Amino acid sequence: MPILSFLYKGTSMAKSKTVFFCQNCGYESAKWLGKCPSCQEWNTFVEEVIIKGPGPSLSARTSGAAVSKTVPLHEVKGGEDLRIITPDQELNRVLGGGIVAGSLVLVAGEPGIGKSTLFLQTGLHMTGLATLYVSGEESEQQIRMRADRIASPHEQFYLLTETNTQVIFEEIRKMQPGLVIVDSIQTLHTPYIESSPGSVSQIRECAAEFQRFAKETGIPVFLIGHITKDGNIAGPKILEHMVDTVLQFEGDQHYTFRILRTTKNRFGSTSELGIYEMTGAGLRMVANPSQLLIAQREEILSGTAIAATLEGLRPLLVEVQALVTPSVYGTPQRTATGFDTRRLQLLLAVLEKRGGFHFGLKDVFLNIAGGLKIEDPSIDLAVLCALLSSYEDLPLPPHTCFTGEVGLSGEIRAVGRIEQRIAEAAKLGFEKMVISRYNLKGLDPSMYPIDIVSVARVEEVYELFFK
């Protein structure tokens, strides 16, 4: 498929105007406003001078491109999306089965978390497909040093250090790659807008140019982006609407684990995640994260429970740690890491009301080991058992895991895909699994090499393990 040049034919009669952009949502105004009428944020407008030349001529727009026309829906040819399968199975899972041809993917994450490393090694391992890596942040020598540490580059991996979008599109037209990686969108600038790289107007216009390029040529493009101090993607909110997929690369720099999440995906699920381990030779895929997320200790301590949860289609066993201590100050503390604090308060209220446990004068601390953030409600039963274990200072039986959602009336509710959770626990050598009694419908416990215990109420859980 021919690749368009996207080079505008400018003239000396360029139009110039001064506009104000909201740095939060990208709202445009002819004058400065104290409060944005779109996102309701205060003092977010910045002034920018925009100089735009005329758009591409008719011949440039139609050269090598099909002219759009209205067609009935039943005449449109169906079929599955064409996908490029990468050597990175974690990336394939997060994207929904591979890279869709002509897709525009935005990847964001904290500085130094490993975004550039991840996609540099992805491009280096894409043998049989010409890959162009565009960098506006590092020199060729710096990228070569990292590439030598990660993998030996193949012959079809090309490098371009440039920030001008028109020069980039001209190089793309010459070499015709099969995949384009841009690091990063905040460093690019188009010559038809007079503002600094990273400004609202530059990010929006550069992203729009790559969007047109990807859709008209069928070449997938990855845009690596920065985030703000609040954890949001830097630039206007419209940037996330323009792209097809938004990936969030996160993790604690004090841990070796990195997690790739999907927050938007037009071609797959948004509940999948990929787990990597940062090593000296780059990012290593973690095929079985449950073994790494469960601490291996010889001593059995109170306040620890193992939860069988799901992230997308992947079953995970994670360790839940709880600490309940008498409150030294007047107001008891409620602190949760990797778990919703409001959900923790809800579970404590259930234990107070339905179980008669007095947490009102206790400090409660909860942690999901490994730096994961779990949103699956099936972790409720493990959190509840960890809290009771720390409250009574009695350890739970070893080789036991839990899965179940806790309702406001103290009932243990059923969870989905219970067979996958049981199979994962059995594979890792667990001997007993506690589930909801309502999950027994249609389930044959004799099929699994693990003892399945069912409970229906919070009171039954307490009598089973702490009496």
Residue 145: give its domain's CATH number.
3.40.50.300
Q: Would 69 be classed as within a structural domain?
A: no
Q: Are residues 302 and 368 in the same domain?
A: yes
Which residues are known binding-site members?
A: 109-116
Structural domain ending residue among the three candidates 257, 285, 313: 285
Q: Are residues 103 and 143 in the same domain?
A: yes
Which residues are known binding-site members for ATP?
A: 109-116
Domain extent, residue 447, equals 292-465
Q: 89: part of which helix (H) or strand (E)?
A: helix 89-95
Q: 426: part of which helix (H) or strand (E)?
A: helix 418-427
CATH number for 309: 3.30.230.10
Q: Are residues 112 and 237 in the same domain?
A: yes
**Given a cut of 60, is residue 249 above it in pLDDT?**
yes
Structure confidence at residue 392 (pLDDT): 94
Q: Are residues 281 and 185 in the same domain?
A: yes
Q: Would 111 be classed as within a structural domain?
A: yes
Q: Would 6 be classed as within a structural domain?
A: no
* Buried/exposed 289-323: b ≥16 CB within 10 Å, e otherwise: bbeebbeeeeeeebbbbbbbbbbbebbbbbbbbbb
In this prediction, residue 44 has a pLDDT band, given cuts at 50, 70 and 90, of: confident
Q: 395: part of which helix (H) or strand (E)?
A: none
Give the residue from 307, 331, 286 showing the smallest Cα distance to 387. 307
Give the residue from 443, 403, 401 showing the smallest Cα distance to 426. 401
Q: Would 75 be classed as within a structural domain?
A: no
Q: 50-108, pLDDT tens digit by residue?
A: 665 554 433 343 244 456 789 898 887 765 667 999 999 999 999 999 999 999 999 99
Strands 405-406 and 15-22, sheet pairing: unpaired
Task: Using DSSP, state whether 58 is helix, strand or coil.
Answer: helix
CA angle 276, 280, 284 (to 5 degrees): 25
Give the residue from 412, 418, 415 showing the smallest Cα distance to 456. 412
Q: 164-215, pLDDT tens digit by residue?
A: 999 999 999 999 999 999 998 999 999 887 778 888 888 989 999 999 999 9
Q: Are residues 244 and 118 in the same domain?
A: yes
Structural domain ending residue among the three candidates 285, 302, 336: 285
Q: Would 183 be classed as within a structural domain?
A: yes
Q: Would 336 be classed as within a structural domain?
A: yes
Q: Are residues 281 and 301 in the same domain?
A: no
Q: Are residues 225 and 113 in the same domain?
A: yes
- Which residues fall within 8 angstroms of residue 463, CB to CB, at 6 or more apart? none
Structural domain ending residue among the three candidates 229, 251, 285: 285
> What whole-number distance in Å separates Cα of residue 306 and Cα of residue 320?
6
> What whole-number distance in Å separates Cα of residue 324 and Cα of residue 365?
7
Give the residue from 163, 91, 164, 79 showing the smallest Cα distance to 122. 91
Give the residue from 103, 109, 159, 106 showing the smallest Cα distance to 136. 159
Q: Are residues 138 and 260 in the same domain?
A: yes
User: How large is the angle between the packed helices 200-217 and 165-175, nearest 10 degrees?
Assistant: 20
Q: Would 34 be classed as within a structural domain?
A: no
> What whole-number distance in Å separates Cα of residue 364 and Cα of residue 336?
8
Structure confidence at residue 413 (pLDDT): 96
Q: Are residues 91 and 226 in the same domain?
A: yes
Q: 289-313, pLDDT tens digit by residue?
A: 887 778 766 678 899 999 999 988 8
Q: Are residues 220 and 356 in the same domain?
A: no
CA angle 37, 40, 46 (to 5 degrees): 75
Give the chain's end-to-end CA distance (angstroms, integer). 71
Q: 142-155, pLDDT tens digit by residue?
A: 999 999 888 776 78
Structure confidence at residue 85 (pLDDT): 93
Query: What's the structural domain count of the chain?
Result: 2
Q: 343-390, pLDDT tens digit by residue?
A: 999 999 999 998 889 898 899 999 998 778 898 999 999 999 999 999
Distances (CA, A) of 416 to 77, 312, 420, 451: 36, 11, 9, 19
Q: Would 191 be classed as within a structural domain?
A: yes
Q: Are residues 281 and 305 in the same domain?
A: no
Q: Are residues 271 and 327 in the same domain?
A: no
**Given a cut of 70, is residue 8 above it in pLDDT?**
no
